[in-house]
Amino acid sequence: MKFYATALLLLCIFCSNCIADDNSKREAIEEMFAITGVTRVADNIKKSMAKGYVDAINEAKSKKKMNAEANLIIEKHNQKMTDLINNSITWPIIKPKLLAQYIKYSEANIVKTNDFFKTELGQRVLVEHEDMDSDNKRKKHPASEELFKTKDGKNILFFLAELYRGASKIATEEFMPNLEELGKLMVAARNDLDKIPNK
């Protein structure tokens, strides 16, 4: 009986340590998300999608002289589009799926990655990476070039690119079921504008 009690106690201690280690790793991964700025992926994708929608509506607007009625129609459809995108692409939706992908990495490697991105060079690399996601793709990136020449530089840059690519893929997959609805909104906006006579 004493043996079973001791075994049960050891099992409880082992499980408690596993839970503690798992929580510690999760905290390290969440810190990595915050440091690298991948938490902003949802906002960046929403802005990009909204821009595509607005550009399409502006093209329809340019074909006729807009009046107050047309502007009200555009505002109505823009609000529907914004609500659809905002509700479909959020960081709370992306986070658990992205976290599941990185829980397989060792905590030591995650912490090492975090420590690098806290350095002066790491911070400059992250600023440049944000530039690469913007329209300024032809700008030189000296920090990334400097990092690339180091021993682990190529792996770090690849890791960062994969992190962003993974988050973007999840966001896109989450929105896919709503593509048809977004298309209907664009068609409806164009049809409503076509009903308004030119002034």
Q: pLDDT tens digits for 34-60? A: 999 999 988 888 888 777 777 776 676
Neighbours of 8 (CB within 10 A): 10
Angular region, 132: left φ>0, alpha ψ -120 to 50, beta rest: alpha
Structure tokens at 145: 């070039």
Residue 80 lies in a domain: yes
Mean pLDDT computed over every residue of the chain = 80
Residue 12 lies in a domain: no
The pLDDT value given to residue 170: 93
Residue 86 lies in a domain: yes
Residue 8 lies in a domain: no
Q: Across residues 170-177, what is the average pLDDT? A: 90
The pLDDT value given to residue 187: 84
Q: Across residues 108-130, what is the average pLDDT? A: 93
How many Å apart are CA 170 and CA 42, to the nearest integer?
10
Residue 149 lies in a domain: yes
Total domain count for the chain?
1
Domain region containing 98: 23-194
Lowest mean pLDDT among 92-106, 135-149, 160-174: 135-149
Residue 187 lies in a domain: yes
Residue 150 lies in a domain: yes
Lowest mean pLDDT among 65-74, 109-118, 150-159: 65-74
| Residue pair 28/114 in contact by the 8 Å Cβ criterion | yes
Query: What H or E segment, with its residue span, contains residue 166?
Result: helix 153-175
The whole-model pTM stands at 0.72
DSSP 119: S
Report which of 29, 39, 40, 37 is spatially closest to residue 114, judged by C-alpha positions.
29
The pLDDT value given to residue 112: 93
Residue 41 lies in a domain: yes
Backbone phi and psi for residue 46, each to the nearest 5 degrees, phi listed first: -60, -40
